[in-house]
Structure 1
Amino acid sequence: MSGLELIAALLGVTAVWLTVKQNAWCWPIGLVMVLIYAWLFYTVKLYSGMLLQFAYAVLQLYGWWQWKRPDRVEDARQVSRLSTPTVLIGLAAGLGLSITLGAPMAYWTDAALPWLDATLTGFSLIAQLWMAQKRLQCWLLWMVVDVVYVGQYLHQQLYFTAAFFAVLTLIAVRGWFEWRRDPALASV
């Protein structure tokens, strides 16, 4: 399975790098990557992670649409900041998703790491939504989530995926600095 895992990781690095560069090709490449990871996570009993990949598939399509909307191309492509109350609402939603998913995974499945996997899933959904909307704070949330994912994937012996998430952490740092310099933020 490591060959498929390597392909998914390489597609993921490419997709996230293109996201940093605000290139809309990040979305279709990311779509292929998340579908591969859905299968991989199923095989290692990371069911929340598998479900996350299907949610990501929907968010990949949403992000692609947001970034390429013909009626709002200029507006849809501008980086913006979330207000503090909106960030707090997003984090509360991530926590709510974590609990909502974690309980059934812990009690009704043979999931390997039900609570950790569900927590990472909940907050990843928020980060991905913010990314699709080009919200600067997505990168800060990705930094935290990606570091924790490294440990989870090492524990599950998904070594290429752990390395992939270590690289994603570095790319998230780069994304934070690049998007902070976006001219759209200077006018706010």
Structure 2
Amino acid sequence: MNALTWLNGEAFTLFDQRVIRSDMIGNLLGLAALALGWRRSIWTWPVQLVSGLVLIGAYASAHLSGGVGKQLLVIVVALWGWRQWVGGERTARDGGIAVRFATWRERGLLLGGAAVGTLAVGGLFTAFPELSWNPWPDAYIFVGTLVAMVAQARGLVEFWFAWLLVDLVGVPLAFNSGLAFSGLVYVFYLALVLWGAYDWWQRSRAARPALEGALS
């Protein structure tokens, strides 16, 4: 038995659905990565990378090409985000990444990129049905994940809200696709997203007077 066969084997049954090991392990790693992101730890990126590698097997077994593509994207952006956070220029006094709210220009670019990207990817999935049996939700999650990770790499508080919007579609899609553990973990993602958004928001407010004082 090779590693991929073992990963895609059944771990247990949840809500009358079989839970495969790759779905379970990959999502637990993803949950850990999100918690590390809340803590502003650089370890969030390598953990996200490994999570993406494992989840490729889970989505491939469910024939969700959009999910596979999303995880490939997660791996690439995790490498880029890791490099962004390694630089000392964004480091806060407590050793974590410095965070802030996006400017209106940055928000416009993120929203515009999300809209155009979803239309483009959704159109691609619709034109080639073999890529996805559920093209528009897949496209939404695919592009939303990219937007969230880019915002995270930039240390923007808005990254949490992007993840929240992705989860609102990801939860029902995961359950409907037979990935019950993914759906369950997304519920915990929601709690972490709300907690993380509040924490980063507070930190961004605390950092603003210090920055203004340094510039004055």
Q: TM-score, normalised by structure 2?
A: 0.81
Alpha-carbon spacing, 1:16–1:186, altered in 2? closer, same or farther (3 Å): farther
Q: CA RMSD in A?
A: 1.7
Deviation at 1:88, TM superposition (A): 2.3
Deviation at 1:104, TM superposition (A): 1.8
Q: Does 1:163 align with 2:180?
A: no
**169-178 or 80-89: bigger deviation:** 80-89
Structure 1 spans left out of the alignment, 5+ residues: none
Deviation at 1:107, TM superposition (A): 2.0
| Alignment of structure 1 residues 80-159 onto 2, 5 Å | 80-110=100-130, 111-159=132-180
**27-36 or 102-111: bigger deviation:** 102-111
Letter in 2 for 1:8: G
Contact 2:41–2:97, Cα closer than 8 Å, also in 1? no
> Distance in 2 between the 1:171 and 1:122 partners?
21
Matched residue SS, 1:181: helix
- Give runs of ≥4 in structure 1 deviating > 4 Å: none
Matched residue SS, 1:157: coil
Deviation at 1:7, TM superposition (A): 0.7
Q: Tell me the alpha carbon deviations over residues 138-172 of structure 1, each in whole angstroms, 9 at most, x when there is no partner.
A: 11121121121001101101000111111111111
| Alignment of structure 1 residues 54-69 onto 2, 5 Å | 54-69=72-87
Match of 1:25 in 2: 43
Contact 1:81–1:185, Cα closer than 8 Å, also in 2? no
Question: Which of 1 and 2 has greater Rg?
Answer: 2
Q: Does 1:184 align with 2:201?
A: no
Deviation at 1:42, TM superposition (A): 2.0
Contact 1:147–1:166, Cα closer than 8 Å, also in 2? no
Match of 1:44 in 2: 62
> Distance in 2 between the 1:152 and 1:77 partners?
32
Letter in 2 for 1:49: G
> Distance in 2 between the 1:109 and 1:155 partners?
18
Letter in 1 for 2:85: W
